[in-house]
Amino acid sequence: MKGDAMTMTKFNKSSSSYVTHLDWSLDSSVIRTNDGSYEVLYYDVNSMKKNDSGRSAYKDEPWATNSCVFSWGTQGVWQKGQDGTDINHCDRSHQPLVNGMQLVATADDSSKLNIYKYPSP
């Protein structure tokens, strides 16, 4: 777009492996990532820094998206014998069902679509 300036900023390298999934907080102030070494990392967008206490600092954070397969709310979607690469994607429903329950859907290496109650600790 001519006349518009866009600033691109990079976070300091923090993941010990390639990033596989990321989520935005509802207010866009936090990013949560998963990576190839199964880490869950949290970044403060305003300071542009990783928050090493993110797991506790953002434990009650409302997330706009939920594609990270490693998170508190997706602990129960992993089946016995699966490793960190078996679930390829997940996403949480954006609105509760009529009964107030939310769901999370996963897609795995067995070509299965699985649906669980969310959170699924």
- Residue 10: per-residue pLDDT: 67
Q: Where are the domains of the chain?
A: 19-118
pLDDT tens digits for range 21-46: 999 999 999 999 999 999 999 999 99
- Residue 21: per-residue pLDDT: 95
- Residue 54: per-residue pLDDT: 87
- Residue 15: per-residue pLDDT: 84
| Gap between the Cα atoms of 40 and 68, Å rounded | 8
C-alpha torsion sign, points 98, 103, 107, 113: negative
- Residue 48: per-residue pLDDT: 87
* Residues in the chain, pLDDT under 50: 1
Nearest alpha-carbon partner for 23 in 62, 51, 81, 80: 62
